[in-house]
Amino acid sequence: MKLREGLYLVGSGSWGFDLSDELDCHVYLLDGGSEAALVDAGGGRNMDLILRNIEQDGVPLDRVRTLLLTHGHADHAAGAAGLKEALGLRVFAAQELVESLAVGDGWGISLGPAKAAGLYPADFTFRPCAVDVELKDGHTIPVGDCTLTVIETPGHSAGHLSYLMEKDGIRYLFGGDAVFFGGRIVLQNIPDCDLQAYLRTIKRLSELAVDVFLPGHLCFSLRDGQRHLNAAMEALTRLGVPPNLT
Ligand SMILES: [Zn+2]
């Protein structure tokens, strides 16, 4: 689904637009011309639907070379191994997640608690995935004629990253599960969810002057996206916490 020139939504589940498997987060495709990148991988239960969407949007599969993960939760990262294998992708993720992704559970993934809570079926599997490039704050990633900058945005989970891109005077934020439409957030009862880190993340995101707001679920905004980040920040200025989605 084309969002803007060179930007597509190729995966999205039941917390989104049902473009692919119900457990998939939003999977964005950024086409930089000579090469393209996916942001997040979805849950890996029906990769073929994502591949079909890429092709239907007119981007050749062999142009897709990179997978950028926002964080380790299964709806974002369990599909990484399959996509890496199918497309020969290089997988980029936060340094903190490398060991957990290599085993498919643990710190930053929390699959056990998520299954126990009924968020995933008992037979759900997270295929281990090797990370090729370990990311830290401020790293830049070229994708054809686009460049993304890594912003560490912990709080929702450990090793959570956002990716900021400026192109033709427009600022894009691939924000993962940090802040959602309307300024809502997802605090969860899992060991690596960190409220104080989350509050620092919201403050930082409130200073970005984003135009195109591309979160990991629910609605996105193609103009004036900063208002969602500002809405989260307004709750903090009242000594409150933004409304929680869960
Ligand atoms: Zn998440």
pLDDT(64) > 90: yes
Strand order in the sheet with 170-176: 140-143, 146-152, 161-167, 170-176, 212-215
Instruction: Please provide the average confidence, as pLDDT, over all residues in the chain.
Output: 97
Structure tokens at 105: 């559970």
* Domain annotation covers residue 244: no
Q: What confidence tens digit (pLDDT) does each residue in 115-142 have?
A: 999 999 999 999 999 999 999 999 999 9
- For residue 142, report the distance from its CA to the centre of ligand 1, in Å: 25
Task: Give the total number of structural domains in the chain.
Answer: 1
Tell me the average pLDDT across 173-177.
98
Q: What confidence tens digit (pLDDT) does each residue in 209-226 have?
A: 999 999 999 999 999 999
| Residue 179 to residue 155: CA distance in whole angstroms | 10
Tell which residue, 12, 31, 78, has the closest CA to residue 216.
12
Task: Give the residue numbers spanning the domain of 227.
Answer: 2-237
* Domain annotation covers residue 41: yes
| Residue 160 to residue 144: CA distance in whole angstroms | 24
% pLDDT > 90, the chain: 98
pLDDT at 107: 86
Q: What is the CATH number of the domain that holds 190?
A: 3.60.15.10
pLDDT at 106: 86
- For residue 157, report the distance from its CA to the centre of ligand 1, in Å: 7
* Domain annotation covers residue 243: no
Give me the residues near ligand 1 (ion), CB cutoff below 5 Å: 73, 177
- At a CB cut-off of 8 Å and minimum separation 6, what does 168 contact? none
* Domain annotation covers residue 242: no
pLDDT at 35: 98
* Domain annotation covers residue 132: yes
- For residue 130, report the distance from its CA to the centre of ligand 1, in Å: 19
Tell me the average pLDDT across 190-198.
95
- For residue 202, report the distance from its CA to the centre of ligand 1, in Å: 15
